[in-house]
Homo-oligomer: A and B are copies of this chain.
Amino acid sequence: MCASENTPRAPGGRAPEGYDKHAFEPFAVTVDLAVLTIRAGVLQVLLVERGQEPYAGRWALPGGFVLPHESAEAAARRELAEETGLADLTGLHLEQLRTYSEPDRDPRMRVVSVAYTALLPDPPEPHGGGDAAQAQWLRYNALGPLAFDHDRILADAHERVGAKLEYTCLATSFCPPEFTLGELQQVYETVWGTALDRPNFRRKVLATPGFVEQIPGAARLTGGRGKPAALYRAGGATTLHPPLLRPTSEGRP
């Protein structure tokens, strides 16, 4: 609820009379970013190395404080720009994941963090913008334990992205403006960790109106060899009907 007169229990059981902004222990509100990309068929995550305690030397998700006059989403967008050095975040998919609020998740103070998932096409080299600590792409597999509860946040992000690939057109967010169906399929295979049947994948994608649209006449050689692949753009649709379910989707209770 918003600050209301109903059950207006400020810490200590007193009502926040007149909404004295400093009458109770403040919460810090931050954003955490799970930024994913696919480079060379490998799922990669943007991480920063911590220099101080706690968790000094560990990798952590990028993020930062939400400023007084911005929304959490605006904060996420700002932090992402600072961390990657990217000026234009066009083609970026940014989506709220969930909020993590365990009282002891940061040993120093009470921090409530709104986590966001961002998907980037191609790998913009993470040039640390100015004062920010250098951010780096690391393979999603082969990560030691991260700082704070960031392991869990990252796992939640991965799970969410995997699920949304099934029933949305999200996969194109991993792809550059022009891509082949093979590249699109590789997104699914990389995130899901399973191989897909190429002919069936192709039919499924093309049968979904608005998922992709072909760029007439364009083609590109992919592996140096083989038939040049037709190029596609992301279409206008956002949802998949019917969904593109992962194989062996049975038995995941």
Query: Which residues of chain A have a CB within 8 Å of any CB of chain B?
Result: 1-11, 16, 19, 21-22, 24-33, 48, 50-52, 60-73, 79, 82-83, 96, 98-99, 101-103, 105-106, 108-114, 131-133, 147-148, 210, 236-239, 241-243, 245, 249-253
Contacts and interface: CB of A to CB of B under 8 A. Distances in A.
Nearest to A105: B2
A2 B111 contact: yes
Contacts of A31: 1
B7 A83 contact: yes
A114 B99 contact: yes
Given A2-B105, A2-B147, A65-B8, A242 B245 contact: yes
A19 B252 contact: no
Given A2-B105, A83-B7, A241 B237 contact: no
Contacts of A133: 5-7
B30 A22 contact: no
Given A19-B108, A26-B22, A245-B242, A5 B65 contact: no
B210 A253 contact: yes
A235 to B, nearest CB: 10
Contacts of A82: 7
